[in-house]
């Protein structure tokens, strides 16, 4: 077995263990399982980092390969997971990011090589860092925001209905904590999304000679930006809190998944993960 294949196997095995024990630990209120999940995800993240270093070390514009792009998305989800877990120390994050990271990584292994675009070599690092890096970091933040939003709405409904909290719900933090996670993710994620979008337009101009081609993925990206901008404004300028920003964060993440999964697979687009060389 080649070294890269061994790393891939380790990443899948460790992420699977981390996801299973993290979810079981959270739902079953077992701190030991939560810690096992954290260590497994940490070890998988280390192996994943080595895999990306090896993959990005050679080949023409390797960052445009669809499988590698998905692996970078998976890595960003875990990076955001660790940062927010360290910042807020909330176990619920363990049932959001690791399963999505595992799904993205497994999906990446089924992708074939994409058609490679001509691009000035001096701009390769810029494209990788600003476009893919900032967008995927934003997607990781919004995954956490959506998870916090769904739990906020669920817990809020239980409390308003004066229902008895049972099981893992008894250990959930206050509604204000979920709202704070949502706030941090939105305020941090919107500038990253804007940076990723602008750098994508610059890349399109240099690559295809036009900023917008009204490709389906570009249209959805602009829709996401306008909804995201509205939420960002309402959060900062009007001090939005509670159910409205929670719902909107969930919808933004749904649109992100629509762009990443439905459009990339089922809709003709030059951003598709399914184009072959």
Q: What is the pLDDT of residue 159?
A: 84
Residues in contact with 33: Cβ distance below 8 Å, sequence separation at least 6, in sequence order = 21, 22, 24, 25
Higher pLDDT, 29 or 150: 150
Written as six digits, the tokens of 133 are: 């890096």
Q: State how far Cα 151 lies from the chain centre.
A: 18
Helices 66-88 and 175-208 cross at an angle (nearest 10°) of 150
Higher pLDDT, 276 or 42: 42
Q: What is the pLDDT of residue 61?
A: 41
Least confident span in 24-28, 82-86, 122-126, 187-191: 122-126
Flag whether pLDDT at 85 surpasses 90. no
Flag whether pLDDT at 20 surpasses 80. yes
- With tokens 């077995």, the residue in question is 1
List % helix, strand, coil for the chain (3-state, nearest 5). Answer: 80, 0, 20
- With tokens 């409390």, the residue in question is 159
Flag whether pLDDT at 119 surpasses 90. no
Flag whether pLDDT at 247 surpasses 90. yes
Higher pLDDT, 133 or 213: 133
Q: What is the pTM of this model?
A: 0.79
Q: What is the pLDDT of residue 1?
A: 53
Q: What is the pLDDT of residue 221?
A: 87
pLDDT digits (tens, 9 = 90+) for 64-74: 455 677 788 88
Q: Band of the pLDDT at 224, cuts 50, 70, 90?
A: very high
Measured CA angle at 236 (ends 240, 158), to 5 deg: 25
């Amino acid at each position: 077995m080649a070294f890269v294949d061994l790393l891939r196997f380790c990443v899948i095995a460790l992420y699977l263990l981390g996801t299973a024990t993290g979810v079981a630990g959270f739902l079953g209120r077992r701190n030991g399982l939560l810690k096992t999940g954290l260590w497994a995800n940490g070890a998988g993240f280390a192996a994943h980092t080595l895999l990306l270093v090896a993959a990005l070390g050679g080949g023409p514009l390797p960052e445009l390969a669809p499988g590698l792009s998905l692996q970078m998305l998976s890595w960003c989800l875990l990076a955001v997971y660790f940062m927010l877990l360290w910042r807020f120390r909330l176990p619920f994050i363990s049932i959001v990011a690791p399963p999505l990271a595992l799904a993205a990584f497994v999906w990446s292994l089924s992708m074939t090589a994409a058609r490679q675009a001509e691009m000035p070599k001096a701009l390769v690092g810029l494209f990788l860092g600003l476009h893919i890096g900032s967008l995927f970091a934003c997607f990781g933040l919004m995954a956490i925001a959506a998870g916090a939003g769904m739990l906020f709405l669920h817990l809020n409904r239980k409390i308003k209905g004066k229902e008895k909290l049972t099981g893992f719900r008894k250990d959930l933090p206050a509604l204000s904590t979920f709202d704070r996670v949502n706030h941090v993710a939105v305020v941090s994620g919107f500038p990253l999304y804007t940076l990723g979008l602008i750098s994508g337009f610059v890349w399109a101009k240099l690559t295809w000679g036009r900023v917008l081609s009204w490709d389906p993925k570009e249209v959805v990206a602009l829709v996401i930006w306008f909804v995201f901008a509205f939420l960002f404004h309402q959060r900062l300028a009007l001090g939005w809190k509670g159910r409205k920003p929670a719902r909107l964060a969930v919808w933004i993440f749904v649109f992100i998944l629509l762009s990443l999964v439905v459009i990339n697979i089922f809709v003709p687009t030059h951003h598709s993960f399914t184009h072959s060389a």
